[in-house]
């Protein structure tokens, strides 16, 4: 089985979770991306968040949230995405940049609008009472 190794930032505010939609896509995804050669999780995640959302993660506030796996969206059956998630505070104003076309705050009612791995995270957050 092929695995796509991704990192994601989990940002929850008022029972809603930050999500993004890339240009040419219909589904929403948590912000983040793939690491480049030799990058640490923090280096890759902070680079991706700065590129996609124009904000800076505050290093001392970034904490591991969990790792989730599911069938990769828009890939052949058997291609899995492994999403390692972190939370953390940021500085700046969130706005769409780079390949991001739209930034939204989603609730559990929006579950069907996100990728399979994000749906697993939605379910967990909802069960924990963190997502409206």
| Mean pLDDT over the full length of the chain | 95
Mean pLDDT of 101-106: 97
> What is 2-124's CATH superfamily?
Nucleoside Triphosphate Pyrophosphohydrolase (3.90.79.10)
Q: Which residues of 66-99 are buried (b: 16+ CB within 10 A; e: fewer)?
A: eebebebbeeeeeebbebbbbebebeeebebeee
The model's confidence at residue 102, banded by pLDDT at 50, 70 and 90, is very high
Rounded CA gap, 112 and 61, in Å? Answer: 30
Least confident of 71-80, 82-91, 98-107, 114-123: 71-80
pLDDT at residue 1 is higher than 80: no
Q: Give the model's pLDDT for residue 73.
A: 80
pTM of the prediction?
Answer: 0.92
Q: Tell me the C-alpha to C-alpha distance, in Å, between residue 66 and each of 55, 74, 77, 120.
A: 22, 23, 24, 11
Whether the predicted pLDDT of 8 surpasses 80? yes
What are 32-75's pLDDT values in tens digits? 999 998 999 999 999 999 999 999 999 999 999 999 998 888 78
């Amino acid at each position: 089985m092929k695995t796509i190794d991704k990192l994601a930032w989990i940002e929850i505010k008022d029972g809603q979770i930050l999500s993004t939609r890339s240009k040419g896509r219909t589904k929403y995804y948590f912000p983040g991306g793939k690491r480049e050669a030799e990058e640490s999780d923090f280096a890759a995640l902070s680079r991706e968040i700065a590129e996609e959302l124009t904000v800076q993660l505050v290093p001392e506030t970034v904490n591991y949230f969990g790792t989730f796996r599911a069938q990769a969206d828009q890939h052949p059956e058997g291609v899995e995405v492994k999403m390692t998630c972190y939370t953390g505070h940021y500085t700046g104003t969130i706005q769409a940049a780079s390949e991001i076309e739209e930034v939204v705050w989603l609730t559990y009612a929006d579950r069907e609008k996100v990728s399979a791995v994000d749906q697993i995270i939605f379910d967990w957050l909802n069960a924990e009472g963190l997502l409206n």
